Each structure stands twice: as structure tokens, then as C-alpha cells.
């Protein structure tokens, strides 16, 4: 009896001591610490950000993402006791929550009336604190978005600061509010609380980076930033994939191709370790190693193997031609290239290999590595699959990509682990995806869209990935889609239009949506996919330098003709451009912006990006924050001193001949400096019809091309973008301007 009493007293003393420590470090009351302690121990809560939240000067509104039944207990334990918590009906009545409800002031949530109550404004004006729990929706519907509008209005009336709070990992708790098929459960996932710096609505509107936006959108964007902050971006790419394996299950099938079948997370990371060990032995730490492979399981294994070994994966665009590949090898100082003999033979890329070798690289063949792997190596890797081969530094380079070269010589873009993971998480914070989805990726991994969006994003979010080797198989891809039943697909307008021409109506019927980028989506392509397949095309915009996604529409927050709204964590500013009345030159900043360039004149040397990045795009932004691309700065023609957007010319022509493809290019003109030439597949195109249509549309005479070059196909790059260099060369040749 005495021993039992002593043990009990010891436990109580330890409990009081631990609670006292939490009271001191977090600035909470002792009774809060006593009730918070079991939550802290069970879920190993990372709570450093809450000190800043508590210290926010009143009046303040804590906007909490309500993902599970645990958030009210956490917030009642950690926020100042005088905070008024607006709880949903279940939390207001839950018996288990009663001890925590005694820690603060609470009222029941009424979705119809609570947010228009004048009482809340009075509470805040009296230097009060308010905690509001908003539904955990990445893409809020009209009803959910009304809550953002109401909170923003209250904050404006009370001149209150807003502190968004997100508990990372809470949606995977056993008492999560998200359906289990969208968020697999775990008893004790590690929780990470993100609480952003307090800001007033006026400050949120000012930091948007463009002239106007709505208060609801400004609050929603800030809320999405808290979701991003709830993810640990400093873990490195290997750890991000490994953590996903822990979260969604090591035996979960995650990546599949048409030949090798499906790989689970465990098999993927086991193969990663085996291959990474072999590549580690043949290269040096931090070396840029070329990857010349198609969309298949092997390219994912190679990418992760190099990352695990502390190497940098330089993704080579094998469709760019021998001279560009040689330039890439020299620019990135690539000494070793990983490839496949079967792929080189099947794709007829012998000239690419010769060019790479002549530029100083040696080839390493996957077939030879595979045949030489021993049973012991496989067994050791199977035991150590969760461990990388080298320490992972998220600030160091992970990947080198090469710009598309659609307007000139490609440059090498160096992206860190943090750039890639941040961009994937930014996309997840904007687009509603889950492990219930299957993503069909036909875009090549040497293209940033196909790498980050089409490969890394599904790997770190538990979305099943199906890789297809070439986007140019227009007749085969619809048949594959009918068999594998994807819910998400990535593509470009060029590819999507081609698939629609060869597909049967049911081929893409399983899709929830298609994400399109790299080039503008034509209205005709959008209409066909809506009418025939019931699939919404959500258009986005990106740059290789931004890893690549910058802005994207969503199913509930989209606007046709725009590329959507800026991703969470990104900032923009517009610089005036002479001769452009609407919009300006886009400059960007954010965690996904590249480390810097490598250029041919300074091979292998990183030229760091300092501050803001000039995108080279001319854009306009409406008051809802939707971005419209007006054209590339390089894609403006200067005619008799006036700036004319070649992109606007293409839109004009597209409206006249919507089923054809067009490219507007500028060529020299002795009298006016430059003139516009239309390269088109429209066999019936003629200058007079175009002139009359332009007049009816109100277009200036300067932007209507008088020279028309008819071709069977518009030249495109491997990424699906129009090859404007080739199109301009065709125009100059046919017009006899080469001299």
C-alpha cells in the first residue's frame, strides 16, 4: 500500500513537473498544461508556433482548420483562456471534451447566424480574442466560402488581427473528419501546429501583390499558407517520399508503368537504395548525373536513387536534338548519364548518345546494373529501405532541368529539395487530391510539369501514379486510359486535343479533372472534354524556374480564360511595360523559386537567384486574383513603335479558325522594324478573311497578319509547347528573308 502510494505520488509529481515545464515554455496556465500534457505525449505535438499565436496583440481572430475532433482540445489548451471559441455542435456537446471546455469560453456554432452576430464584433472591439473553426476544405464550395467572407467582414469591422492555425497530421487521426479513403488513419501520427504571424485584413490586402482583391480571397489565401506551413518542407525529397510511405502504408502500390507493373512504397524505396548504391560508387558527392529515360518505373528509381546518394539528377530532354543535348551536358558539367539500351534502341536515339559522349559524358546502362545486382545487395536494401544513403540537406540541389528552348537556347535550372517539395505541397494546398485518386502522367519527366506535378506530387501525397512513356501516342493513350481508369490526368492543349480526336466517348469517363499547362487551353479543347468526357480542364501556369507551378484554377475556384490564382506562399509584382496598357511584366518570389541558373559560358557554376525572379511574362490580374497571360515579353512585336502581343494575335486567329492550330511570329521588316507572320494548319486561311474578322472584333490593323504560311503541322517541343524558334525559321525561309 505504501509502495503504491509512493508510485502514485511520484507519477503525480512527474505530471505536475512536466505540466509546469509546458506552462513556462508555452506561456499557458497550469491547468491548461495539465490537460495539454497527454495530448503532447501521445501525438508528439510540434507546438513552437503557438507562442507567437498567444502573444498576438488583441483584438485577434484565430482561424483554425477543423480537420478532426482534436483541434478544439488543442486550442483550448494552448490559446489564452479569455479566447471565445466558436465550436461546432458535436464539439460543444461531446462529453470527453468537457474538461477542456472548462479551460476557456465557448459557444455553439450556428452556420446560419453566428458569423453575422454583432456580439462578435463587440467582443473583438473590447480587445477580445476569438477562435473560429473552419471546415478543412482545399477547394471550398459556395457555402464554405461564405464563412471566409463572414470572418473577413468581422475582422474588417473590428480592425482585428488574423492568425491562421493548421495542425499538420490531424486529418489522419482516428477521429478525423475526412473520409478514411481520402485520409488513411493512424493511431498516433506526429502533429505539427503551424500558426502564422498576426496580420490585419488591410495588411493581407496590401501584401497580395496586385492592385485589388477581395477580403475573402485574401483570407482564404492566408489560410492556405498555414496549410503549407503545416508541412515540413525541410525534410528533403527522399524523406518526403519515405514519410508518405509511413503515412499511407509501405505496402501501398504507388507507381506503375505499362511494362514493369506496380511498385509499392517498400519495393520502390528498396530498389532506390540498390540502384543508388551502384550509382554512388561510380560518381562523386554532389555531382550532376544525367538521366536519359522515358516515363517508366526506372526513371523514378533512378531519380530517388541519385537523391538518396547525395547526387543531383540532371533530367535530359532527349527530344531537343543532338546539339541541345550536347549543350546541356556541357552546361551542367555532366560526366555520367544513366540510360537504357532498350529505350535508346526503341526510340532511335543513337545520335543523342553520340552527341552526349562527344560532349564528355559516359553512359551507364540500367540493364547492366540490374544484371550485376546480387541477392545480398537486395536483402540488405530490403532491411534498410527507409534510410537514405547520404545525409539529406533540403537546401542543396536535387534536380537540374533545362528550359524548353521554345524561344532560344535552353538554360540549366537548378532546383533544391525544398523547391520541389514546396511546389508539390503548394499544389496540394490548392487542388483537392487524395489517395483515392489515380494520376495518369503522359508528360515527360524531363519537363518540370511532368516531374513535379506528374511524378513528385503523387509520390508524396499517396496518389497512385501511372506513367506512360510518350505523350505522342495519340491513338494508344485513350485505350490505356479506358483500362486503368484514372481520376486525374496532366496534359497540354496540343496533346489533349489530339487525344480527343482519336478517343471514344467512354475512354476518359473516369476522370474527375484534367490539369493543363505549358500553353494556353483553347475554348474548343475545353468544350470537347466537357461535352464528351464530362471532365473539367483546370488550367494552370508555371515556369521551370518555379519548379514549375505558379498559379492554377480549381474545380470550385476557377475562371475560363485565366490560369487561376497564385499558389500559397508565392508573391507577385507587376512592372509596367512600355506600350502595354493592361497588365505588366510578372516578377515572382516564393519557396519554390529556383536556386539559380547554370549557363554555357560558365558550365557547372551555379549563378544564384537573388530576390525576385523576372518571369518574362506579361500578365493582368483581376480583383479576384485570377491571372491572365497576355504574352511573353519576348513574344511582343514592335511595329512602327507600337508593342503588339503575338499571343493576342493567336487568340484572334483561334477564334476565327478554332479547330486548327496557329503560331504567330515576328520577322524583320525594313519599313516598320518588324511584322507579324501567321504560321497555321488552316488550309482555307487567307489574309482578307482575317482582316475582315479582325475589324469586326475591334482589333487594331497592326495586329492582323498579312503574311500567312500554311503547314501540315505546327512544330512542337517534347513538352507539348509550340516550338516558336522552328516556326519563325519556317516563316523566314518561305518568305525569303534568310539573308
CATH number at residue 506: 3.40.50.12780
Is 330 within a domain? Answer: yes
Give yes or no for residue 401 having a pLDDT over 60. yes
Give yes or no for residue 193 having a pLDDT over 90. yes
Q: What pLDDT digit, counting tens, does each position of 73-95 carry?
A: 999 999 999 999 999 888 889 99
Instruction: Give the separation between CA 184 and CA 173, rounded to whole angstroms.
Output: 8
Phi, psi angles (nearest 5°) of residue 391:
-55, 140
Is 110 within a domain? Answer: yes
Is 348 within a domain? Answer: yes
221 and 246 assigned to the same domain: no
Average pLDDT of the residues of the chain: 87
Q: Long-range contacts: 519-523, Cβ < 8 Å, 24+? A: 519/492, 519/493, 519/494, 519/720, 519/721, 519/722, 520/493, 520/629, 520/647, 520/650, 520/651, 521/493, 521/496, 522/493, 522/497, 522/654, 522/658, 523/560, 523/654, 523/658
* H or E element in which residue 538 lies: strand 536-542
Strands 412-416 and 397-402: antiparallel
Is 508 within a domain? Answer: yes
Rg, C-alpha atoms of the chain:
28
192 and 134 assigned to the same domain: yes
Q: Which residue has the higher pLDDT, 150 or 652?
A: 150
User: pLDDT value at position 195?
Assistant: 94
Is 533 within a domain? Answer: yes
User: Is 557 one of the annotated active-site residues of the chain?
Assistant: no
Q: What is the dihedral of CA 132, 135, 136, 138, to 10 degrees?
A: -110
Is 22 within a domain? Answer: no
- Cβ–Cβ under 8 Å, residues 289 and 279: yes
208 and 245 assigned to the same domain: no
Is 340 within a domain? Answer: yes
Q: What pLDDT digit, counting tens, does each position of 605-651 carry?
A: 899 998 899 888 888 888 888 888 877 766 666 665 566 777 777 77
166 and 82 assigned to the same domain: yes
Instruction: Give the separation between CA 247 and CA 461, rounded to whole angstroms.
Output: 9
Instruction: Give the separation between CA 321 and CA 666, rounded to whole angstroms.
Output: 24
Asked which of 593, 609, 629 is the last residue of a domain, the reply is 629
Catalytic residue among 66, 172, 447, 613: 66
Asked which of 186, 207, 229 is the last residue of a domain, the reply is 229
Give yes or no for residue 547 having a pLDDT over 60. yes
Domain that holds residue 692: 640-734
Bond before 548 cis per omega within 30 degrees: yes
606 and 667 assigned to the same domain: no
Instruction: Give CA separation, 682 vs 650, 657, 660, 708, 724, in Å.
Output: 13, 7, 6, 10, 18
Q: What pLDDT digit, counting tens, does each position of 551-573 carry?
A: 998 877 788 888 888 999 898 88
Strands 261-264 and 336-339: unpaired
Asked which of 610, 629, 648 is the last residue of a domain, the reply is 629
| Residue-wise DSSP of 252-268 | SEEEEETTTEEEEHHHH
- Name the pTM for this structure: 0.85
What is the number of other CB atoms lying within 10 angstroms of the CB of residue 69? Answer: 19
145 and 292 assigned to the same domain: no
Residues 6+ apart with CB under 8 A from 186: 172, 173, 174, 247
Q: What pLDDT digit, counting tens, does each position of 9-58 carry?
A: 878 888 888 888 888 888 899 999 899 999 999 999 999 999 999 999 98
Please state the rounded mean pLDDT for residues 708-727.
77
34: helix, strand or coil: helix
Instruction: Give the separation between CA 444 and CA 452, rounded to whole angstroms.
Output: 11
Plot region of 640 (φ>0 → left; ψ -120 to 50 → alpha; else → beta): left
User: pLDDT value at position 634?
Assistant: 65
496 and 616 assigned to the same domain: yes
* H or E element in which residue 639 lies: strand 636-639
Q: Which of 164-168, 186-190, 462-466 has the lowest mean pLDDT?
A: 186-190
Provide the β-strand partners of residue 631: 618
267 and 219 assigned to the same domain: no
| Residue-wise DSSP of 415-444 | EEHHHHHHHHHHHHTTS---TT-EEEE-S-
Give yes or no for residue 709 having a pLDDT over 90. no
Instruction: Give the separation between CA 483 and CA 258, rounded to whole angstroms.
Output: 11
Bond before 59 cis per omega within 30 degrees: yes
- Cβ–Cβ under 8 Å, residues 235 and 392: yes
Q: What pLDDT digit, counting tens, does each position of 417-457 carry?
A: 999 999 999 999 888 899 999 999 999 999 888 999 999 99
Q: How confident is the model at residue 229 (pLDDT cuts 50, 70, 90)?
A: confident
Q: What is the dihedral of CA 87, 93, 95, 97, to 10 degrees?
A: 10
200 and 320 assigned to the same domain: no
Candidates 461, 459, 467; CA nearest to 490 is 467
Q: What is the DSSP letter of 452?
A: I
Percent of residues in the chain assigned helix, strand, coil, to nearest 5: 40, 25, 35
Residue 730 Cα to chain centre, angstroms? 35
Phi, psi angles (nearest 5°) of residue 696:
-65, -35
Plot region of 725 (φ>0 → left; ψ -120 to 50 → alpha; else → beta): alpha
If 0-12 CB within 10 Å is exposed, 13-18 middle and 19+ buried, where does residue 602 land?
exposed
565 and 697 assigned to the same domain: no
Q: Long-range contacts: 535-539, Cβ < 8 Å, 24+? A: 535/489, 535/508, 535/511, 536/512, 537/496, 537/513, 538/431, 538/513, 538/514, 538/564, 539/563, 539/564
User: pLDDT value at position 478?
Assistant: 94
User: pLDDT value at position 672?
Assistant: 65
Across the beta sheet with 613-621, the strand order is 571-575, 584-589, 613-621, 627-632
Please state the rounded mean pLDDT for residues 321-335.
90
730 and 613 assigned to the same domain: no
Is 38 within a domain? Answer: no
Instruction: Give the separation between CA 724 and CA 545, rounded to whole angstroms.
Output: 20
Count up the domains in the chain and report the number: 3
Give the CATH number for residue 682.
Answer: 3.30.300.30
407: helix, strand or coil: coil
- Cβ–Cβ under 8 Å, residues 229 and 222: no
611 and 652 assigned to the same domain: no
Amino acid at each position: 500500500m505504501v509502495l503504491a502510494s509512493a508510485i502514485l505520488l511520484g507519477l503525480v509529481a512527474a505530471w505536475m513537473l512536466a505540466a509546469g515545464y509546458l506552462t513556462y515554455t508555452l506561456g499557458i496556465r497550469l491547468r491548461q498544461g495539465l490537460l495539454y500534457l497527454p495530448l503532447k505525449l501521445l501525438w508528439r505535438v510540434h507546438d513552437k508556433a503557438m507562442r507567437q499565436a498567444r502573444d498576438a496583440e488583441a483584438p485577434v481572430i484565430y482561424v483554425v482548420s477543423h480537420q478532426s475532433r482534436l483541434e478544439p482540445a488543442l486550442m483550448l489548451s494552448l490559446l489564452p483562456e479569455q479566447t471565445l471559441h466558436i465550436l461546432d455542435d458535436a464539439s460543444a456537446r461531446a462529453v470527453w471534451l468537457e474538461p477542456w471546455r472548462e479551460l476557456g469560453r465557448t459557444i455553439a456554432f450556428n452556420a446560419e447566424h453566428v458569423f453575422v452576430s454583432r456580439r462578435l464584433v463587440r467582443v473583438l472591439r473590447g480587445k477580445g480574442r476569438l477562435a473560429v473553426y473552419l471546415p478543412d476544405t482545399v477547394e471550398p464550395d459556395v457555402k464554405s466560402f461564405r464563412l471566409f467572407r463572414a470572418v473577413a467582414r468581422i475582422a474588417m469591422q473590428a480592425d482585428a488581427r488574423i492568425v491562421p492555425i493548421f495542425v499538420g497530421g490531424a486529418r489522419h487521426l482516428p477521429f478525423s473528419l475526412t473520409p478514411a479513403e481520402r485520409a488513411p488513419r493512424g493511431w498516433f501520427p506526429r502533429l505539427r501546429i503551424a500558426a502564422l504571424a498576426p496580420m490585419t485584413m488591410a495588411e493581407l490586402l496590401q501584401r497580395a501583390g496586385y492592385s485589388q482583391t477581395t477580403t475573402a480571397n485574401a483570407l482564404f489565401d492566408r489560410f492556405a499558407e498555414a496549410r503549407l506551413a503545416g508541412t515540413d518542407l525541410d525534410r528533403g525529397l527522399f524523406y518526403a517520399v519515405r514519410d508518405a510511405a509511413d503515412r499511407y502504408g509501405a505496402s501501398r502500390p504507388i507507381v506503375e508503368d505499362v511494362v514493369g507493373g506496380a511498385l509499392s512504397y517498400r519495393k520502390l524505396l528498396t530498389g532506390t537504395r540498390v540502384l543508388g548504391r551502384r550509382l554512388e560508387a561510380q560518381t562523386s558527392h554532389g555531382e550532376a548525373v544525367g538521366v536519359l529515360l522515358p516515363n517508366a518505373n526506372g526513371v523514378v528509381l533512378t531519380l530517388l536513387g541519385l537523391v538518396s546518394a547525395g547526387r543531383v539528377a540532371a533530367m535530359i530532354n532527349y527530344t531537343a536534338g543532338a546539339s541541345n543535348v550536347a549543350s546541356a551536358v556541357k552546361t551542367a558539367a555532366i560526366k555520367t548519364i544513366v540510360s537504357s539500351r532498350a529505350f535508346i534502341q526503341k526510340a532511335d536515339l543513337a545520335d543523342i548518345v553520340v552527341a552526349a559522349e562527344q560532349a564528355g559524358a559516359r553512359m551507364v546502362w540500367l540493364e547492366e546494373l540490374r544484371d550485376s545486382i546480387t541477392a545480398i545487395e537486395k536483402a540488405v536494401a530490403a532491411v534498410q529501405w527507409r534510410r537514405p544513403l547520404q545525409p539529406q540537406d533540403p537546401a542543396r540541389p536535387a534536380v537540374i532541368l533545362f528550359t524548353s528552348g521554345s524561344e532560344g537556347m535552353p538554360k540549366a535550372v537548378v532546383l533544391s529539395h525544398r523547391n520541389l517539395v514546396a511546389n508539390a505541397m503548394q499544389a496540394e494546398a490548392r487542388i483537392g487530391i487524395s489517395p483515392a485518386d489515380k494520376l495518369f502522367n503522359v508528360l515527360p519527366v524531363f519537363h518540370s510539369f511532368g516531374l513535379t506535378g506528374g511524378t513528385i506530387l503523387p509520390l508524396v501525397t499517396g496518389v497512385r501514379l501511372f506513367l506512360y512513356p510518350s505523350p505522342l501516342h495519340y491513338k494508344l493513350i485513350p485505350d490505356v486510359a479506358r483500362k486503368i481508369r484514372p481520376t486525374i490526368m496532366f496534359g497540354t492543349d496540343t496533346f489533349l486535343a489530339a487525344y480527343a480526336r482519336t478517343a471514344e466517348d467512354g475512354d476518359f469517363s473516369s476522370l474527375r479533372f484534367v490539369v493543363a499547362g505549358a500553353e494556353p487551353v483553347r475554348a474548343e479543347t475545353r468544350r470537347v472534354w466537357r461535352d464528351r468526357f464530362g471532365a473539367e480542364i483546370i488550367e494552370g501556369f508555371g515556369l521551370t524556374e518555379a519548379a514549375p507551378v505558379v498559379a492554377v484554377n480549381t474545380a470550385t475556384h476557377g475562371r475560363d480564360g485565366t490560369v487561376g490564382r497564385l499558389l500559397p506562399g508565392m508573391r507577385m509584382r507587376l512592372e509596367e511595360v512600355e506600350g502595354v496598357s493592361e497588365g505588366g511584366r510578372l516578377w515572382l518570389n516564393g519557396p519554390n523559386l529556383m536556386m539559380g541558373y547554370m549557363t554555357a559560358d560558365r558550365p557547372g557554376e551555379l549563378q544564384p537567384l537573388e530576390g525576385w525572379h523576372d518571369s518574362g511574362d506579361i500578365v493582368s490580374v483581376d480583383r479576384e486574383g485570377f491571372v491572365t497571360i497576355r504574352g511573353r515579353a519576348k513574344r511582343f512585336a514592335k511595329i512602327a513603335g507600337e508593342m503588339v502581343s503575338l499571343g493576342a494575335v493567336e487568340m484572334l486567329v483561334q477564334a476565327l479558325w478554332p479547330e486548327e492550330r496557329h503560331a504567330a511570329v515576328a520577322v524583320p521588316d525594313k519599313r516598320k522594324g518588324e511584322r507579324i507572320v501567321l504560321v497555321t494548319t488552316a488550309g482555307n486561311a487567307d489574309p482578307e478573311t482575317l482582316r475582315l474578322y479582325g475589324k469586326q472584333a475591334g482589333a487594331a490593323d497592326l495586329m492582323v497578319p498579312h503574311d500567312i504560311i500554311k503547314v501540315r503541322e505546327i512544330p512542337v517541343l517534347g513538352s507539348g509547347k509550340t516550338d516558336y524558334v522552328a516556326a519563325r525559321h519556317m516563316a523566314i525561309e518561305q518568305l525569303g528573308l534568310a539573308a
